[in-house]
Structure 1
Amino acid sequence: MDWILMIAGLAAALVAGVFLSFSDFIMRGLIQAPASQGAAGMVGLNRTVYRSVFMVLLLGLVPVSGGLGLFALWQFEGAAPLLTLVGAVIYLIGVFAVTGMGNVPMNKRLDAMDGQPRETADYWPRYAQRWTRLNHARTFSSGIAAVCWLVAAQTV
């Protein structure tokens, strides 16, 4: 079981790294561009992410999180079950739920504005600020999940 926790932890760390890139410099770069160009860049990124390795990791960790959380209740002793369960809950809520209920609807709204420069220019500053704030939460959550699973792997 320790190798599954290790792989899940490394995958969550990779997800955290992608989110950190957006929080650290990608969004800041897009925000510095004129609104129409920043928004167009973000729409392009959002359209390409669906066919990426990142999506395999992001979505693949959802059933893995659930499975690890359930399995931890029956198989581990000591600190490992708590760490595994905490990592699973944090990933499912702080990454998957925030993405599905926050970032994705905003991405869809921005995409629907493609070709409407005035609406896009009005929406872009609010989008960029809120989307980035939500992304900070996803960065933190995936990083904490990674740490929980990697530490649990060492204590199994």
Structure 2
Amino acid sequence: MDTLITALLWLGAIGCGLLAGVFFAFSVFVMTALGSIVPAYGIAAMNAINRVILRSLFMPVFWLTTLTSLMLAGVGIVHSSEPGALAMLIGGAAHFLGMFVCTVALNVPLNNALAAVDPAGEAALPVWQRYLRDWTRWNHVRTVACTPASAMFVLAMVERAAPV
């Protein structure tokens, strides 16, 4: 069981770190760059990104990290008296709530609304302006959730390895 928990912690730490990096890049420069070009082009580019990401290596990392985080939160609850349990619970909950729930409940519906608009149509500009503001705000939340989740999984490994 210890080997499995350690493997899950490594997967969680690396997965959350990778996701945090992707979300960080979008938050600090990708969305700003897309917002600085002609709206029709920005919309087209973001829609292309959203289509491609669904068929990329990002998705297995997204799903595997989410599953791993839920498992680690469960381990943290079941083994609450063991070293690293609280860090596993905090990391798993932060990732699931701050990344997964935020993505499904907030970012994906915004992606769907953007995909439904004609980039050259009259309705495109207000949809794009709302998208840039709201999608980026929720992406910041995902970045902030994944970063400490990764750190919590590393902390759990350290705590589990420390002599008792």
Calculate the TM-score normalised by the size of structure 1.
0.94
3-state SS, counterpart of residue 118 of structure 1: coil
The 10-residue stretch of structure 1 (115-124 or 5-14) with the greater mean CA deviation from structure 2: 115-124
Identity within the alignment, % = 30
Structure 2 spans left out of the alignment, 5+ residues: none
Judging by fraction of residues, say which structure has more helix.
1
Alignment of 1:116-135 (within 5 A): 117-135=121-139
C-alpha separation between the residues in 1 aligned to 2:76 and 2:125?
A: 48
3-state SS, counterpart of residue 117 of structure 1: coil
Of residues 23, 29, 54 in structure 2, which corresponds to 1:25? 29
Measured after TM superposition, the shift of residue 53 of structure 1 is 1.1
1:111 matched to 2:120? The reply is: no
C-alpha separation between the residues in 2 aligned to 1:115 and 1:127?
A: 13
User: Does the aligned pair in 2 maintain the 1:12–1:143 contact within 8 Å?
Assistant: yes
- Cα distance change on mapping 1:62 and 1:7 into 2, 3 Å: closer
C-alpha separation between the residues in 2 aligned to 1:109 and 1:116?
A: 15
- The residue number in structure 2 matching 1:2 is 6
Aligned partner of 1:135: which letter?
Answer: N
Structure 1 spans left out of the alignment, 5+ residues: none
Which structure ranks higher in relative contact order (CA pairs < 8 Å, sequence separation ≥ 6)? Answer: 1
How many residues matched?
156
Between Structure 1 and Structure 2, whose CA radius of gyration is higher? Answer: 2
Aligned partner of 1:107: which letter?
Answer: N
C-alpha separation between the residues in 1 aligned to 2:53 and 2:77?
A: 34
Alignment of 1:29-44 (within 5 A): 29-44=33-48
3-state SS, counterpart of residue 145 of structure 1: helix
C-alpha separation between the residues in 2 aligned to 1:42 and 1:145?
A: 27
Calculate the TM-score normalised by the size of structure 2.
0.89
User: Does the aligned pair in 2 maintain the 1:10–1:150 contact within 8 Å?
Assistant: no
Q: CA RMSD in A?
A: 1.4
C-alpha separation between the residues in 2 aligned to 1:86 and 1:40?
A: 38
